[in-house]
Chain A
Amino acid sequence: MTSASSRTILICSGKGGVGKTTLTANLGIALAKQGAKTAVLDADFGLRNLDLLLGLENRIVYTAQEVLAETCRLEQALVKHKQEPNLSLLPAGNPRMLEWLTPDDMKKIVAMLEERFDFVLIDCPAGIEDGFKNAAAASREALIVTTPEVSAVRDADRVIGLLQTREIQPVQLVLNRVRPKMMANQEMLAVDDVTDILALPLVGLVLEDEQVIVSTNRGEPLTLNGSRSPAGQAYMNVARRLRGEDVPLVDPTKKAPGLRAKFGRLMQTKIF
């Protein structure tokens, strides 16, 4: 039976390389730290990376495929994070898999996870083909990750359309890799531009942050050690908002201090 309080959230973007897996890893750790039992499911079996970002790449023995074949129990396939035991990782499969999973397989696995966890985060593969369809079949709500770039927004729009036909609700937006200076100079799509175009509520605003690269190098998500870096803080806030806390979202171009930002706002004044 599915637990009524469990939430299964698809994390998707359409376009690759916009930060789905980074968001999944950081959000998973953040939710776990805030006391929620959380599972992260890597639905990309061809090219899996979530294990690497979480620093769990050497601890994977089984995958969802073995669980479905009943050659191992779910508990054996789940990789528990040592520092943050509220978080477990389950890879959907491995690249050498003989048979690809089906949407029904994903539903079965997710139903098993929902019995044990408060949150199930599904890291969706890029694209809108089978991998996406599998992951979407098992999801109830979704987070769309996009960056303020035309290609990422266009692909996000396609995915939003597909999620709407599947009646996945709510679908919320995380705007990633925001550069406040470029936005202030109007050389990057504004936060309002993206939310207006996609017509989704914004649940997270993550600034471009070099610390993200440092943290992936180490396999320690920013949220793991309470990083004060802008991206780390932003991920923690996404987790709080998902859990229903009222954390205000600050548009960096509207609140940024300093002469440059003030000048930027002056230049945006409508004169006629």
Chain B
Amino acid sequence: MTLRELIDKLLGRQPASAATAKQRLQLVLAHDRSDLNPELLEKMRREILEVVSRYVEIDLEEGDVSLETEDRVTALVANLPIKRARTTPLPPPSGTAAASA
């Protein structure tokens, strides 16, 4: 946090707009560059969470799967806080089991 941001916060002012612009740009560019629409990303996010939660108990509230971009390379970043590991993994849902069999 910069001095400016602290003062803005203390005075309840809107933060300077450059930081907002940068954040919004980074997000929109990550999507532009990957050609993944939000709907597909959301579907992928749900499936990833489903697979991971069969092996470990994760905090679904805190979990986050998003696209990030640096030096024109886009990465899928998953940040999934683990509550505890499962001793035996849960079985996959019947639909996907049939598909993988």
A268 within 8 A of B: yes
CB distance from B23 to the nearest CB of A (A): 10
Chain B residues whose CB sits within 8 angstroms of the CB of A187 once the complex forms? 16-18
B71–A150 touching, CB < 8 Å: no
Interface residues in B, total, Cβ within 8 A: 21
A197–B2 touching, CB < 8 Å: no
Stretch in A55-63, A153-161, A209-217 with 4+ CB within 8 Å of B: A153-161
CB distance from A187 to the nearest CB of B (A): 5
Decide yes or no: A188 and B18 within 8 Å by CB, A267-B4, A271-B3, A272-B1 being known contacts. yes
Task: Name the one of A161, A189, A269 contacting B3, with C-beta atoms under 8 angstroms.
Answer: A269
B32–A158 touching, CB < 8 Å: yes
CB distance from B19 to the nearest CB of A (A): 7
A271–B21 touching, CB < 8 Å: no
Residue of B nearest to A183 (CB): B18
Chain B residues whose CB sits within 8 angstroms of the CB of A149 once the complex forms? 21
Please report the C-alpha to C-alpha distance between residue A101 and residue B1 in the assembled complex, in whole angstroms: 54
B72 within 8 A of A: yes
CB distance from A78 to the nearest CB of B (A): 38
B25 within 8 A of A: yes
Residue of A nearest to B71 (CB): A199
B32–A267 touching, CB < 8 Å: no
A190–B18 touching, CB < 8 Å: yes
Decide yes or no: A186 and B4 within 8 Å by CB, A150-B21, A193-B18, A197-B22 being known contacts. yes
Please report the C-alpha to C-alpha distance between residue A157 and residue B18 in the assembled complex, in whole angstroms: 18
Please report the C-alpha to C-alpha distance between residue A185 and residue B8 in the assembled complex, in whole angstroms: 12
Task: Name the one of A150, A154, A199 contacting B32, with C-beta atoms under 8 angstroms.
Answer: A154
CB neighbors of A among B37-80 (8 A) = 71-72
